[in-house]
Chain A
Amino acid sequence: MTEQDGYNLRLYVAGQTPKSIAAIANLKKICDQHLPGRYEIEIIDLMKDPALAMRHQIVAIPTLIRQLPEPMKRIIGDLSNTERVLVGLDIQPN
């Protein structure tokens, strides 16, 4: 895994809501399928660290942010629409 093609993803959730759980599951599934071995997921629970919501400009929950590669991309929703996630993250489907 190199810096260029490595994906650094952050998923913001708020507690263990159905949407949050679905989003985590959907994200893992998509990454495993399309970015095997090239991704890193950080899950941030805003219920535990509410100050981050303001700092990172989070409005909707769940929010997925592609930290790397640049530029930063945002996807909101439970990520159930795989096609949109792929487009949003700029991933060429396998």
Chain B
Amino acid sequence: MAGKVRAKPGDLPSIGKSPTGIGGLDEITQGGLPQGRPTLLCGSAGCGKTLFGMTFLYNGAVEYNEPGVFLAFEERPDDLIKNVGSLNYDIEKLIAEKKLAIDHVELERSKIAESGEYDLEGLFIRLGFAIDSIGAKRVVVDTIETLFGGLENEQLLRSELRRLFEWLKEKGVTAVITGERGEGTLTRYGLEEYVADCVILLDNRVHDQLSTRRLRIVKYRGSAHGTNEYPFIIDEQGITVMPITSSGLHHGASNERLPSGIPDLDRMLEGKGYYKGSSILVSGMAGSGKSTVAAHFADATCAAGHRCIYFAMEESPPQIVRNMRSVGIDLQKWVDKKLLRFSARRPSLFGLETHLASMYRDVTEFDPIAVVIDPMSALLGAGVTGDVHAMVLRLVDFLKSRGVTALVTNLGVSGENVTTEIEISSLMDVWLLLYNRESNGEHNRQLYLLKSRGMAHSNQVREFIMSSDGIKLREAYVGPEGVLTGSARRAQEAKEEAAVLIRHQDIERRSRELERRRRETAAQIEILQAQLANEEAEVALLNHEGNAREDQLAADRVTMGAGRQSGARPDKPANKSKMRLDSK
């Protein structure tokens, strides 16, 4: 024992939890409602108390093998069954399987006379019998305050209610007691005095004609719990509570990358794309190509075999599919393969919190690797600016904690202005700005990667071209005249091409000239060489003739000597050598 200061978790007795099976609520309550104890569920009319109770029983019977009893004071069993039939809760089947029992208590003051003392033992017997007959572990009492309208003796009722809650505890059933919200009190008749273990408040507030349901754990004895107001929704899939808060910054950081779907953009992002689990803001004016960037991302995600949810706020899914075909993206095939889910909703359909809750439900259900929200700015219509900021914060936190990559588009009223209306940019890891700039009588799209946390990225403004093969990014022409795009860029490019052509032609011309001169020179060399040869030959001839003449002269002298009889003998006949000279 010495040195052991604190008991290990699990060593000390702690209260058990009875899971509700309601998405999000079990997270807030860290496991569910207090097991074997009554919980007070209060709220004004139309808050979903009855549905909440029925869901608690249905999930208990179907998912946790805990049969339940519904003690109804307000609605008849037929109506109850019909009302939750829209949620595909087959109550009749559960009743037949003895997993659920509904007991409707009719009380009408006008039909009952009171004479002397009484107690509510009849109610206890009924409830006890119902619990024992199906071995119920869960009980819903909806709404016991009706008794105050049906019976005169309030004092007695209060003591009997106290007894009822004690009795429920003794029975060991997890009970949900509903109560109507009162003026300044949680319930009209102060039920919170008796049920003190756990109190949950449901609320339905209307702001700008949009109602938002909210849930708050007012108290929970013996357990930590989330204390905020959490939005929840009721739709055909039941109740979903959005448990996230904006407090968490514990999400991990992945080094994995997800391609953006635009190869040219990937090149700007170290050639790999976005970080997995990061949030990407694409902002720009109307018609700057935000949805197309979003669709490329969705397409690339699905092409890699991952799931993606596309939250469409302004266009219907068929319209998006059709429009994206024009840039060569077929989203329908991913829808068919169940990799892409469109979740289309008008922003004005319900309040922000409800949007948040329904997105939360979609994400937890479909478990995508990436989501697209197109456009976030549409939500401005569903709440005041501060709320939108808070909502986006919560959504981004939630998505990050799940490692879901989020691409959010935002319609900026003034495309050049870097302050987005809802100031969500600080939450974002990547911010792509799309411009639609006018110059020389035309609008040209431009893309600028304003920031990209955690990677070396290009700082260049690119020209953004949408073609039937998707988005292409071109290096914008930067020159002495500034950044040129569109026709101006094309004109400048043509000008440059022409200059290059002229230069090429010049070089060709000069090299031809050189060749010509080279040949000319060669020819001249040949002529000179020929002249030289001529002269050489001439010299040789002259030399030869000179020798011959000298021979002849010598011969002539011999002949003449012989003719004068000088005594010298001629060796050869002189005419013979003369003949040879003539022949030459």
Contacts and interface: CB of A to CB of B under 8 A. Distances in A.
B126 A75 contact: no
A9 interface: no
Contacts of A59: 105, 107, 120, 122-123, 126, 147, 150
B122 A58 contact: yes
B126 A58 contact: yes
A37 B119 CA distance: 31
Contact of B116 (A54, A58, A73, A77): A77
A31 interface: no
Max chain B Cβ within 10 angstroms of own Cβ: one of A54, A59, A61, A79: A59
A81 interface: yes
Contacts of B103: 54
Interface in A7-63: 12, 14, 17, 19, 22-23, 26, 46-47, 50-51, 53-54, 57-63
Contacts of B116: 22-23, 26, 77-81
B115 A60 contact: no
Interface in B255-300: none
Contacts of B123: 59-60
Interface in B115-152: 115-123, 125-126, 128-130, 147, 150-151
Interface string A69-84: 0000111111111101
B106 interface: yes
A61 to B, nearest CB: 4
State the majority secondary structure of interface residues on B: mixed
A59 B129 CA distance: 13
B113 A14 contact: no
A76 B126 contact: no
Contacts of A61: 118-122, 125
Nearest to A78: B116
Contact of B112 (A12, A62, A75, A82): A75
B4 interface: no
Contacts of B126: 50, 53-54, 58-59
Contacts, number: 97
A88 to B, nearest CB: 3
A54 B130 contact: yes
Contacts of A51: 129
A88 B113 CA distance: 6
A59 B127 CA distance: 10
Interface string B141-169: 00000010011000000000000000000
A57 B105 contact: yes
B119 A75 contact: no
Nearest to A58: B122
Nearest to B119: A61
A76 B115 contact: yes
Interface residues of A, number: 34
A77 B117 contact: yes
A85 B118 CA distance: 14
B114 A75 contact: yes
A75 B130 CA distance: 25
Nearest to A15: B121
A84 B116 CA distance: 9
Contact of A84 (B106, B115, B118): B115
Contacts of A26: 116
Nearest to B147: A59
B111 interface: yes
A51 B134 CA distance: 13
A12 B122 contact: yes
Given A57-B106, A60-B151, A50 B115 contact: no
A73 B118 contact: no
Interface in B542-556: none
B122 A46 contact: yes
Contacts of B113: 73-76, 84-85, 87-88
Contacts of A80: 115-117
Given A75-B112, A88-B113, A46 B118 contact: no
Contacts of B107: 59
Nearest to B105: A59
A47 B128 CA distance: 11
A70 B500 CA distance: 113
A19 B119 contact: yes
A9 B117 CA distance: 19
Nearest to B107: A59
A73 B111 CA distance: 7
B125 A46 contact: yes
B114 A14 contact: no
Contacts of B129: 50-51, 53-54
B124 to A, nearest CB: 8
Nearest to B111: A74
A50 B121 CA distance: 11
A20 to B, nearest CB: 9
B119 to A, nearest CB: 6
A11 to B, nearest CB: 12
Contacts of B122: 12, 14, 46, 53, 58-61, 63
17 contacts: A17-B121, A19-B117, A46-B125, A58-B126, A61-B125, A63-B122, A73-B111, A73-B113, A75-B112, A75-B115, A76-B115, A77-B115, A78-B115, A78-B118, A80-B115, A84-B113, A87-B113
Given A14-B122, A22-B116, 16 more contacts: A14-B125, A19-B117, A50-B125, A51-B129, A53-B129, A54-B103, A59-B105, A60-B120, A60-B123, A61-B122, A74-B111, A74-B112, A77-B118, A78-B115, A78-B117, A85-B115
3 A-B pairs closest in CB distance: A88-B113, A80-B116, A77-B116
